Structure 1
Amino acid sequence: MRKIKVILCSLLSLCILACPLASSFAVSGAEDINSLENQLDELTKQSEKYQKTLDDTQNDINEKEAYSEALVGKIDVLSKKINATNTSINKLNNTIADKQKQIDKGNKDIDVQVDALCERLKAIYKAGSASDLEIVLGAKDLSDFIDKVNLVKTVANIDRELIDDINDKLTVVNTQKKELEADKTELDEEKDSLQADLENLNSTLDENKELLQDLYSKSESAKSKLDDVSGKISAQEQEIRAYWEADAKAKAAASSTGQVDVTERITRREQRQKQSSSSGSSDSHSSQSSQSTQPAREDDDEEESVTPSGGGFVWPCPGIYNLTAVFGEDRTTYAHGAIDIGCPMNSTVVAAENGTVAYTCTYCTHNWGKSGSCGCGGGFGNYVWMNHGNGKETIYGHLTTVLVSPGQYVTKGTVIGYSGTTGYSTGPHLHFECRY
């Protein structure tokens, strides 16, 4: 038991020596990693800005495209109206042509009747200025008298009818002319109105097309900038991951070197103890010699088994003993209630004791070092929370992968996950916490 205590003390001394080495690495790179993370935050803000611009532009494009479709629909309706109006115009033109023919014929009839009237007036003029009374009194007998009276009446009636007929035809022609002029005026107004509406719609459609072209250009620009920033974010995340992987390797190397130093120290200590036992033994008493060597073998057996017995906890990160934070460490606003074991990404994590898995968190994808909490798992990121009975509990935080689920019974030493840097973690390590 004495030698086990010596080994454990040596391991503790190694951890104390190794921690400053790992810490010095972190301190030297703190400024660089802070700069990288600040740049990543800035790139993320730019990405969000460009994404918002892209979303807003797409909304505007959708609105303008819908408006353009509506305009095209209106233009189509208006074009159909114009076609219908053109049909009406053609019909009216045909009607106007027919009426013009009627007017021309009426004018010819009037000319014929006027010519006939003129001929009669000319004949009367040549016959002299005899009055109707003179014509009647000049009759030879009663029969001739009656004939002359009827002749005078007939000529008068014919002249009156001819004049009335001419006036009627002139009235009809004037009425038709006014109707044609009214129809033409109405048709011209309708045509002008439709043409104006069509020009306005085409002008609005052209303006909307220009706006759409501007929006398309703006959208393409936003997409290009977003792709560029996304590429930069990806590169930045890779650089940050590379930093933490290098940090983990450095810590692992420091831990490995410390283990070699401990082994050498233990070996030298055992050699000195064996030399001391050999020099103090007596050659003449073999029984005493056997008694003195028997405890030494027992001590050797105890040295070979540094893992606690079945009744105690086992180390949760096999083969890795690099402590980057100790229990009770001052964190300014709180004391650290666990130990942090610095280990490379995806290092094996085992259950420290038999127990039942109480809770797990498996949804955190923010598996890189960060200066603030991503909010996942209450800061633990992906974690396993185990209940060992009698009020004893253990928590394994910041895991990359969780292999167990709530309600599952796990035996001591069973692999329950792999280490990482999810949650509120500045770099790869295992947060191991015991609660009682």
Structure 2
Amino acid sequence: MHAWPASEVPALPGQGRDLRIHDTATGGPVILDPGPVARIYVCGITPYDATHIGHAATYNAFDLVQRVWLDTKRQVHYVQNVTDVDDPLLERAQRDDIDWVALAEKETALFREDMTALRMLPPQQYIGAVEAIPGIVPLVERLREAGAAYELEGDIYFSVESDPHFGEVSRLDAAAMRLLSAERGGDPDRPGKKNPLDPMLWMAARAGEPSWDGASLGRGRPGWHIECVAIALDHLGMGFDVQGGGSDLVFPHHEMGASHAQALTGEFPMAKAYVHAGMVALNGEKMSKSKGNLVFVSQLRRDGVDPAAIRLALLAHHYRADWEWTGQVLQDALARLDRWRAAVSRPDGPPADALVEEIREALAADLDAPAALAAVDRWAALQQERGGTDEGAPGVVSRAVDALLGVAL
């Protein structure tokens, strides 16, 4: 599966800062100091309806992570998956009387278009669950052989008790885990499981549903969590720098994925930091496909909204915050974009070197994009009020905003 084209990232003078970011697993900040190649895995979409503002906010957060690393003169190895076979996708295809493969391909293509328009840097590997199945099957077999997995009526389950570190990503108690498991695709009430929280690794073939040859596992399809583990281990290995996604993935997805990987390798941790973006609401409720209260990036683009304004609307909120999309949020972003473009359109302006450092400092401090926007606002206001004599300043600002914030002026 191919990703989308990369927009050019301008090189800036000077040196970026190492990123201090909030780690869900420890509940506090960690300073990330990757080697020459920083490694990040971000969980991708289930392509039955793409791309809403909540998705865009999540991928914007991890786009900033990449831009901070690139500014430190590191390379970035970014991997993202597509869950192109799963119950929600199959249910939507059946509801709309469309082939599930065609639905997945259509929505994945739309997601690529939206990411391109928003200038999100693409992953080096963009892998679908279906194409990962040949790598998933041996991992499930290994877990079963090691006693970390067991069979129940043809299905294969992972035993959470096989990982001594289980629970250290989400830091939730068993009752909270059981509740979230039931809400987010698990089956804690299924009789016969060793532990109600045990997640499925391999689902035996069901009538009328797609299935693949699973060698000793029999025909079936992979569980949700093992898909990401197989892709991440194959392309990044253990101990990569950031595991990212929305806060709704903390449990069970990232918790279970970490335990799968740790049980497979005997190494800990799977990722040095678990980083999660907040949820976006509409009309007082979290924006989600199941509720249908969605604002789609593609629809905004069809309505003529500049993608740079959409990106500014996302950047106006700290990535970990839960916030609500409103018409005013978009209007504020459009007005900011107009002010910034007017400011950099002049032939000269106030000195900008200090502004570049302000943006760097803000983003290095747990991706404080609102503080970075405020710094650019101050420079633009000074440009409007007094102008300046530095002929290179507007160009410096334009390149810095593009390189560090992903906004083309």
TM-score (norm 2): 0.20
Question: Computing the radius of gyration over CA atoms, which structure comes out larger, 1 or 2?
Answer: 1
Where relative contact order (Cα < 8 A, 6+ residues apart) is larger, the structure is: 2
Q: Report which of the two has the higher share of strand.
A: 2
Q: Report which of the two has the higher share of helix.
A: 1
